[in-house]
Amino acid sequence: ELIKEVEERGKEHPLILALKDKDWNVRMCAAEALGKIGDTRAIEPLIHALKDDEEEDVRGSAAGALGKIGSAKAIEPLIHALKDKKGNVRESAAEALGKMGEPAVEPLIHAMDAEEENVRLGAAWALGEIRDGRAIESLISALIDENLDIQWSAVEALVKIRDKKAVEPLIHVLEDEMESVRWCSAEVLGEIGDKRAVEPLIQALKDVKADVRKSAVEALGKIRDGRATEPLIQVLKDGKRDVRGKCDRSSC
């Protein structure tokens, strides 16, 4: 009833005051309610709760509320929250950043260079949600991150963006010395579906690593270019059963 009354009258002061209540459950509910109302007067108090509240559920709710309000003022505090020691707070901050849209792109690209792995991971996820082509270069660079979770987050983001500007850089890293980078790039090239990737992917069918060959088979199966027919048939002779299996499912 209080929330309904506040929404109708446009008075948020009781809820803002409730962010300082001794009961953490009251503070959490207040943050959630402020997010539903969406008044920009709640931004600074919510940022304060995100930074300083001792309870992780309150910090997470504050992050979610800031994402719903959508003010650019919250972008840097949310990026900082990607360093939070609690995973649910980091996830809430990443989700909030993903809702921020265009104003968050450049700060998130900058965050992709952060020392903290959790910041890079959350930034990659958020960039995938925003789907802005400006993020391609930083996401491709993330394919060579030592953290496999970050690599996969970058893959998922690139798949969501599906920008053909990524094709040439991805073809280049298809020859990277790291196995995981090669099969990640093959994965994304298959999802983008650009014909420029066909010949490089055919070459990847000869990769010394089975996982790379499997990704190349799957990618070529998705692109469905006639140039790949004979090379894919040859894959049926591959010494690795799972590689041959991928070829069967790709209609070799």
Q: What is the pLDDT of residue 11?
A: 55
244 vs 97: which has the higher pLDDT: 97
Domain boundary among 54, 69, 100: 100
pTM exceeding the 0.75 threshold for the entire prediction: yes
pLDDT of residue 236: 78
State pLDDT tens for residues 175-195: 999 999 999 999 999 999 999
Whether pLDDT at 10 is above 60: no
Please give the tally of structural domains in the chain: 2
The pLDDT assigned to 4 comes to 58
Per-residue pLDDT, averaged over 162-167, amounts to 93
CA 69 to chain centroid: 21
Which one of 53, 80, 100 terminates a domain? 100
195-233 pLDDT per residue, tens: 999 999 999 999 999 999 999 999 999 999 999 999 988
| Same domain (yes/no): 89, 7 | yes
pLDDT at 29: 97
Percent of all residues in the chain with a pLDDT value above 70, rounded to a whole number: 89
Task: Let me know if residue 154 belongs to a domain.
Answer: no
Cβ contact 63:71 at 8 Å: no
Q: Hey, what long-range contacts does 139-147 have (CB within 8 A, 24 or more apart)?
A: 139/112, 139/166, 140/166, 140/169, 140/170, 140/173, 141/112, 142/112, 143/173, 143/176, 143/181, 143/184, 143/185, 144/173, 144/176, 144/178, 144/181, 145/120, 147/117, 147/120, 147/121
For position 250, what pLDDT does the model report?
Answer: 56
Asked whether residue 122 is assigned to any structural domain, the reply reads no
Q: Is 106 contained in some domain?
A: no
Whichever domain contains 50, its CATH number is: 1.25.10.10
Could you count the other beta carbons within 10 Å of the beta carbon of residue 203?
14
Range of the structural domain that residue 192 is part of: 167-252
Mean pLDDT across the stretch 86-115?
97
Residues 155 and 184: beta-carbon distance below 8 Å: yes
Domain shared by 179 and 91, yes or no = no
CA count, 13 A, side-chain hemisphere, 165: 11
With respect to residue 132, please indicate whether it lies within any of the assigned structural domains.
no
- Of residues 236 and 31, more confidence is placed in 31
Determine the length of the chain: 252
* Within-domain flag for 158: no
Whether residue 246 is predicted with pLDDT greater than 70 in this model: the reply is no
Is the confidence at residue 24, as pLDDT, over 90? Answer: yes
Q: Which of 44, 75, 100 is the endpoint of a domain?
A: 100
